[in-house]
Structure 1
């Protein structure tokens, strides 16, 4: 019986959110299933929430492997493999998270160019700089592994 943690429960709730957006779950049913997902302690308890639903189902990370036996061949050394990302990760949010530093760096420059192009008529454009940087930080935080 595979125990689940907070990450697996979140993946299940994201999949349930997708079903709610697609109209396959009513608000009450969605709330009940999300509550059950938040209390789940095993993979079987999560799987039961999707038995009557088509894809998407949550894609769980691989279980942790046990220690190799002494007779097992060691794996070749090299860079670690990239973690398997669940299907439900929004590619735009992940791209923003990857380029957060560059976006934060370029935002004031873009604001200055827009201010200059407008002939100085819109000085409030500089108010958007911290708003954009805060938005990028929030998106980056949500898409951290």
Structure 2
């Protein structure tokens, strides 16, 4: 049983994100599998997340248990550049929490400034709209 680290867990979550964008996973199932992936300690736990899914599966950097890979057609071009996708995936996974905490952070900044920056609350809807846009764009 090969142990896994944060990198392998992130690779598994990125592959799950690709399945979500392709419409193979509903939001709740995607969230559940990502949660399981984030707590996984072995390669077997991560592999179990893909038992009922076609390619893409994560390409782990270290050797693990051998599994037959079906011959697949050329993968479609990613919707987002490689440099943006992990950040978009992280924002999409945490969109609810970010939206929930934004007004609280604005209130803390307002209180810490002694009430000198009331305009900080104007930024709250812009931050929430930006998170919603990134989350929606990532889920396509």
User: TM (normalized to structure 1)?
Assistant: 0.44
The structure with higher relative contact order (CA 8 Å, sep 6+) is 2
User: TM (normalized to structure 2)?
Assistant: 0.46
